[in-house]
Amino acid sequence: MARKYFGTDGIRGRVNTPKLTPEVALKAGMAAGRIFTRGDHRHRVVIGKDTRLSGYMIESALVSGFTAVGMDVFQFGPLPTPAVAMLTRSLRADMGVMITASHNPFEDNGIKFFGPDGQKLSDEVEEEIERLMAAGLEQGLAPSNKIGRAKRVDDSQARYIEFAKRTFPRNLRLDGMRIVIDCANGAAYKVAPEVLWELGADIVAIGVSPDGTNINLDCGSTAPQALCNKVREVRADFGIALDGDADRVVMADEKGQIIDGDQILALIAKSWSKSGDLKGGGVVGTVMSNAGLDHYLGSLNLKLARAAVGDRYVLEEMKKGGFNVGGEQSGHIILSDVSTTGDGLVAALQVLAVLTQGKPASEAAHLFNPLPQVLENVRFKKGSPLDDARVKSSIQDANAKLGATGRVLVRKSGTEPLIRVMAEGEDEKLVRAVVRQIASAIEEVAA
């Protein structure tokens, strides 16, 4: 069936438009609750959220939906997405929910669902939720004496802090290291600085004053210039920038130079391969991963398996190939030995474990020279620009121009009304030209 609500990462859209209203959240909670009500025990669902103003509204609607079908609800308040996934398993909940639009602006919000194993739902389960939402849910309402209860859980942040600290090697400390942490005014604004401080670091925290409307605003992993500037200003040894729900991360060395997800994958692969902890003979990236990463891993006799964009698809490829490290260039890093989804803070701790060995980040965390790669996003209002003959012809022409020395990837975003145009190759000038050529064609069609 055609999807009306779910994209590549749950339900996401502009708040109080048809894609995401209190009614949509209510129906989604009722439908998901029905699917995960199995057996005779008291069923429970855990809910976390980021710091968006609309989180209160969506949370209330979800709580009503879940309790209406007989599920007890545990409300965590602001907490990273990976913390919700972890606590879903830890508390033996039947499912988990994170209210977030990740790196999007505050006007957007979304609903991410996790199964009892702490993993995101399959396409089939999401389609079943949509089917129930469309079919009507009156038949699934709980009897009056079996309606669920809702309560706040006060120690959820402390639980995640202890979990994150346990992923850092016990014999290491961050004493003497000055670290800038940018929490994007999002879900990790309390827990991330606390974890780093308790491990011994000297912390300079930015993006830790959420007001409901400033999440991801000129800060965080999608606007890392604030991090780079602060690292240089305070002469820090390292910088960490999370996104709104803290499931992705980018970093900065002591010079304020960006360390993206590809470089993080390379560093962890090298470190874990040396220690014998790397599984699968390599790592999983995506179709967006830079060719430079592929070449570098090859020099270590390691492989790069590519998945579709989206951490859910990365995890699927990891399972299929027996890998325990995977991620995206954007900073979703999955370390499946400790987490079921991307965890920006835990990934940063693995990089910090390498830096404690004495090398500065500028030397330890830039392991390969990426091939010139250009990405341009083109917004559209309706229709399918990629089906237009003019766009198809432009893409074909771009591929011919790059030849065997490069590649073109054009795809529709699963979370926003955008067409993402990416190209990479040895000639940066040519790469930029073909990206603009394709983007112009899309703009003409989408006008």
Q: Which pairs count as long-range contacts for 275-281, CB under 8 Å and 24+ apart, including other chains?
A: 277/324, 277/337, 278/302, 278/324, 278/325, 279/322, 279/323, 279/324, 279/325, 280/305, 280/318, 280/321, 280/322, 280/323, 280/324, 280/325
Q: Indicate the CATH number for domain 6-153.
A: 3.40.120.10
- Rounded to two decimals, the pTM is 0.91
The whole-angstrom separation of Cα 393 and Cα 338 is: 45
The 10s digit of each residue's pLDDT in 12-34 is 999 999 999 999 999 999 999 99
Enumerate the domain spans of the chain.
Answer: 6-153, 178-257, 260-364, 373-446
The whole-angstrom separation of Cα 427 and Cα 53 is: 45
Phi-psi region of 212 (alpha: psi -120 to 50; beta: other; left: phi over 0): left
What's the pLDDT at 1? Answer: 57
Sheet containing 325-327: order of strands:
303-307, 282-286, 325-327, 333-335
Q: Indicate the CATH number for domain 178-257.
A: 3.40.120.10
Is domain 373-446 annotated with CATH 3.30.70.2080? no
C-alpha closest to that of 418 among 380, 387, 370:
380
The CATH superfamily label for domain 260-364 reads Alpha-D-Glucose-1,6-Bisphosphate, subunit A, domain 3 (3.40.120.10)
Q: What are the residues facing 180 on neighbouring strands?
A: 204, 239
Q: What is the block-wise mean pLDDT of the chain (447 residues), using blocks of 10 residues?
A: 83 95 97 91 96 98 97 97 97 97 96 96 94 86 95 95 97 96 98 98 98 98 97 98 98 97 97 97 96 96 95 93 96 96 97 93 95 92 85 94 92 84 94 95 86
The whole-angstrom separation of Cα 306 and Cα 49 is: 30
**Active-site residue (options: 54, 64, 90, 102):** 102
- Whether 209 is catalytic is no
Contact 98, 170 (CB under 8 A): no
Domains 6-153 and 178-257 share a fold: yes
